[in-house]
Structure 1
Amino acid sequence: MTAGVLSRSAALVYHLLVVELLFLVTAGPGLAVTWLLDPDVSNLPLAALGMLPAGPALSAALYALHHRQLDLDDLRPAALFRRGYRLNLRGALPIWGSWVLITAFNLAGLSGAGAVVVLMATLWMLNGLVITSLFDFRARDVARLAAYTMIRTPSVTLANLCLLVVAVGTVFYFSEIALLLAGSVLMLALSGNARPLVALVRTEFTR
């Protein structure tokens, strides 16, 4: 029993490390450009462009972690990440890009209402990333399902809100780099949070 637990734990750590490395390779350069820019409104377009590659990378990480195998003789996290990236590139960009635009537009105003909009948009985006990473729907259908499941699966919405609090706390107490280095762990948590959502979509919207 102990050997089995240890082997599965080792396999999970290996998955997380490989997925994190591939996430950093695919999303890191663009995010680095964004973080190096001066915090000025005139830099928002370039900052938004730098953030775009992170969407497909997060989607690929979700796909790889959702489909992970914890058999030490059948570990393929890199292959799963590449497959997820290839399958979800076109689907993830509209959801992620919409969130980036909404966030950039509302943060530029620095108002309380804008902060609420960004929060709701982020919760919507997280649902959308999960759906587009694991299912094959058109972008507009993913957008609708992401909003629908925010209401139909309140436990997922609440769990994701807690995840956002952890992410913001990581940035506040440590740095953006710490959040980036925890990317695969956060995606594993998101995948776990989203189980009721995935079950709902599979039951009600797939054959």
Structure 2
Amino acid sequence: MTPEEPAAAFPDAWRQGARPSFGDGPLSRAAALLHTLLTVETLLLAAASPGLVALFLLGPDPSNLPLAAVCLLPLGPALSAALYALRHRDRELTDLHPARTYVRGWRLNALPALKLWGPLLAWLTVIAFTLTHFAATGLPGWWAVLLAGIGAGSLLWGAHALVLTSLFTFRTRDTARLAAYFLFRHARATLAAASLLVLTAGLTALLTEALPALLAAPLLLSLLYGSRPVIAETQEDFTV
């Protein structure tokens, strides 16, 4: 055996003196993603906890719907900060700062998110209150179907608006218009958001109301994945 043969058995990178750095492998990337998801989930629950705790203490009476909307107000900025942190997450295990990124996202997006989240909650509360007291309205039955469809469309609009306000700096009315534009412009992104809403509703109805909150970070990561066409077009056509 010649001296060159053992060296030939090693990969080229080792023969050239280069070694794979720690944190570059698939296992390290998976660990980085898991760490980011757990951190973002913890911070999201902490940021929204005042309202969520009060919400769980409310009874399921329809008369509590306005109070429930007030309890959900902190959730908007918390979700927006989570989307920001997941979008700007680090891939390398050796350079992770998800908590810092989440706090930055909350500081940047809390007020813009509230400007959209607050009116959306108020509108959905009106729809929900009307549907739960529909017999007293005297309206024909097809009005209930129409209101339910309007509520579902409002939720899908809200999903696009939340992504846009979390990742871009637009005026509130411009974000609202873009979200409405993308509802039909990118049907796949809208369908992806709809599937996540159905999944969330199913988890709430079949299991427990707390489960969607505990799985918020993975659900938001899925929302970002489904919103890639919306994000790409916004970056290309609506930003400088």
Shift of 1:148: 0.5
Shift of 1:101: 0.9
Between structures 1 and 2, the one with greater helix share? 1
1:26 is the counterpart of 2:47: yes
Q: How do 1:128-167 residues align onto structure 2 when only pairs under 5 Å count?
A: 128-167=161-200
Q: 2:226 aligns with which of 180, 193, 200?
A: 193
Amino acid at match of 1:180: A
Partner SS state of residue 231, structure 2: helix
The CA distance in 1 between the partners of 2:149 and 2:179, in whole Å, is 17
Q: How do 1:77-156 residues align onto structure 2 when only pairs under 5 Å count?
A: 77-110=98-131, 111-156=144-189
Shift of 1:40: 3.0
The CA distance in 2 between the partners of 1:95 and 1:179, in whole Å, is 21
The CA distance in 1 between the partners of 2:147 and 2:74, in whole Å, is 24
The CA distance in 2 between the partners of 1:81 and 1:51, in whole Å, is 19
Shift of 1:64: 0.2
Aligned residue for 1:45? 66
Deviations 1:111-151 (A, max 9, x none): 32221111100000000000000000011111111000111
Shift of 1:35: 2.7
Name segments (4+ residues, structure 1) moved above 4 Å: none
CA root-mean-square deviation:
1.5
Partner SS state of residue 28, structure 2: helix
1:70 is the counterpart of 2:103: no
Partner SS state of residue 91, structure 2: coil
Shift of 1:9: 0.4
Deviates more, 1:9-18 or 1:35-44: 35-44
Deviations 1:77-130 (A, max 9, x none): 000100000000111012111221111110112232221111100000000000
The CA distance in 2 between the partners of 1:113 and 1:106, in whole Å, is 10
Aligned residue for 2:237? 204
Count, aligned residues: 207
**TM-score normalised according to structure 2 size:** 0.83
Shift of 1:32: 2.2
Unaligned runs of 5+ in 2: 1-19, 132-143
Amino acid at match of 1:130: V
The CA distance in 2 between the partners of 1:162 and 1:41, in whole Å, is 26
Unaligned runs of 5+ in 1: none
Shift of 1:38: 2.0
Amino acid at match of 2:120: W
Aligned residue for 2:6? none
The CA distance in 1 between the partners of 2:55 and 2:145, in whole Å, is 24
State the structure with more CA Rg: 2
Aligned residue for 1:15? 36
Q: 1:172 aligns with which of 205, 209, 220?
A: 205
Amino acid at match of 1:125: G
1:58 is the counterpart of 2:58: no
